[in-house]
Each structure stands twice: as structure tokens, then as C-alpha cells.
Structure 1
């Protein structure tokens, strides 16, 4: 499944959060109470306390955005190449079945980009790119759909047990009228 935004905060949302912290720093300078700041800015008291501690230790610069917590190992261009590689399917890359696992994606990343990424890192990378895990229906590559349809039509009705009919002694909800 793909998400339009790809997860994470947009640049606008990051800027909004930084403006909130900057407004809090102005209120720290004026000596306002934590509860008042939290109520007015509609944030938790704990966040304001954390901001105040950072402000005391590092000034306004400590409240400025530091950017994403960790830069992704693959650039956007590399991730686009990875998506193309994944679209080719696992058999092109040497596996016998049609299932992508995190370990296999990790191997493809190592082979193509010469990077070492943990399995958890691969999971985060794919999620950040808008992918979600899926459990595909397992179907053999050699499956003959025409033969399956014929079997369902001709053989299965004879194998299937006939439906039970309601009658005396059954658990049917309809009862004969009392006389």
C-alpha cells in the first residue's frame, strides 16, 4: 500500500512546530508560568518543561529544529532505483519464489548500493517510502487457471456434501402452528 505523503511530518508541519517553540521561548523570557504557556499553546505541560530546560541550557538555538532525527541511508534517487528493482520480482535477483522478505530487500540494497542496512532499517526505509507489509495469496507459478476452473465446475460439486434440509428434528426456527 502506498501513502501519498510517505509518512513523517511535512515541511509546513515542522515549521509550525518550530514557531510554537519560538513563541514559548518569548514567554520564558517574560517569566510566564508553564501551565499558562501549555494552555495557551495547546501543548502538554511536560513539553513546555522540556523546552524550558533546553532553553535554559542552550538558549533559543536549542529550541530550533534540528532536522530529521536520522537521515535515511538511501537518497530519493536511490530509493526510486530500489523500487524499480523490487518491481522486477525476486526471481530476477536469484530467488526461486515470488516473495519479498526484509532480508531479501536488505540483500538487494547491499548488492546494488554497497550499503549495510539492518533488517529493522529496511523496514523503516520501506515504510518511510510509503510501503506496507502484505501477505500475498500463495499461488504456484505453474498454476493453470483454466484447469482450476474446470475442476471447480466439474469435480467440486460431486465432492461437496449436499446441503442439509430443514425438517422435523432440525434446528430450524420455524415451527408448525399449534392446534
Structure 2
């Protein structure tokens, strides 16, 4: 029997593992979409150091979650207020979901997404947005199956001189 997935608030003690998941996840998901030197930096240790320094500061309204299986952190999600410059009291933004590459396809991302939107809905938000690299077909399919669909907005994103467009997805809560 597979141990249950347990979602909880991220703790300072989770920072090293979360950085490992984030860096390895970026390298896997964005291979061929972003320049390799960008994917190779920062190291897990550098990312953890920056994350640790910011952890206590957080942002007002930013929710950082982790999911564990058998006591091991296997994924992370973050959501909070929209960052696109518009003030929209009814909206929230999913900033990130990263899953340990060994756990892809096991429901970890789905559990993190469900808990993120559940918490946002409980706070009275009616919509959630997220930005996804246009070429990240796997992530886009995941979000679309969950009920978040491209709404037509596209934003230029440049990494080391390479244009990498992002598309915005929108979901009405509850999904």
C-alpha cells in the first residue's frame, strides 16, 4: 500500500529539500526551453541560502506548502496575490508547483494544486491565475486538465537573450 500524501505549511527545516526539488524540477521541465547555463545556476546550495534568508520575511499573503509521503518532502507549491500589477481583490495567483522528478505522475502536483485552490477559495478568492512557459506542454496539459485554461494573455520573458514567452491560465474557484 502506498503511503498517503500529506500537505502542510512549509517550515524553515524544509528549505534545503525544497531547493533541491525546485532546481532539479526546473532542470527537467525546462530542458530545451531555457538556456542551459540559466538552468545550471544557481546550485541547490545557493538557492537554499537565498530561500532561507527570505523565508522569515515571506510576503504578505504568500502561502508556501509542501507535500510529504512517508515523512519525505516530495513537492512544493506557493500561491498568493496576483503579481501582474493590477489590483484584483477577487484573484489569487499560483506562483509555483514543483514535484520531485521521481514522483511525477503520482498525484503529488494534483494534491498541491487542490490544496492551494482550496485555501484560496476559503479566503474568498473567486479566480486563480498562473503563468506557464508557452512551450511547456506537459505543465499546460496538467493545468488544463485541472480546469485552468489559457485566457489569451501572453507575456514576453527573456532569459540570457532568448525570448521565452509565457501564457496565462485562469481558473474559477472552486475548480
Q: TM-score range by the shorter chain?
A: under 0.3
Q: TM-score, normalised by structure 2?
A: 0.21
Name the structure with the higher strand share. Answer: 2
Q: More relative contact order in 1 or in 2 (CA 8 Å, sep 6+)?
A: 1
Work out which of the two has the higher radius of gyration on C-alpha atoms and give 1 or 2: 1
Structure with bigger helix share is 1
